[in-house]
Structure 1
């Protein structure tokens, strides 16, 4: 039970590290590679901006905080890349752990009954 709790806590912390890696290192590089594109700012507004809106109409976070219905496809790309990085890193960790574990010798295959009988006959004939 304690192992599971430790795994959940470390997994949550690892998720935060992966999110930071994606948002602070990989996505800015990808944006620079594609000419300064910031994926989190790409969205399609599906509804009207409420009266008295104080934020920027081009800011995804401001519009989302105001409750404007939007299709945030840029944010989805960021989250999808975050997931792929996390899945790849977990794959590498599991593969490394599997390589470190001692390999068990394969269990001997059960001898079929007819082979056992033939061996007994052979041993009887030798005597």
Structure 2
């Protein structure tokens, strides 16, 4: 086992996704790389988890969520975790969307539907 593989097993990715099938697809892709995952189904829970637990290494944030959307959840997370990588994920991409996502505090954007390799590549870029 390489040092990189051992380090990945220590990484925790928070998947913020209200659709279970989407969550399971992402979780399966990440677990194949040895990454640990947590799941939040709404923005409020995501904010609570990120602000309470400093061992979360990256957030995959859906933008359309119940209780609090991904934009506002990202803004709130930035108040307590300024350096936490947050990757927005959405199926609704308009030309202005990436600028809006970055303005909210996300580091990057991935569009749905995505392949398993796409999600792995973007996560590996930030952890």
TM-score (norm 2): 0.22
Which has the larger helix fraction? Answer: 1
Instruction: Report the TM-score, using the length of structure 1 for normalisation.
Output: 0.22
Structure exhibiting the larger radius of gyration computed from Cα positions = 1
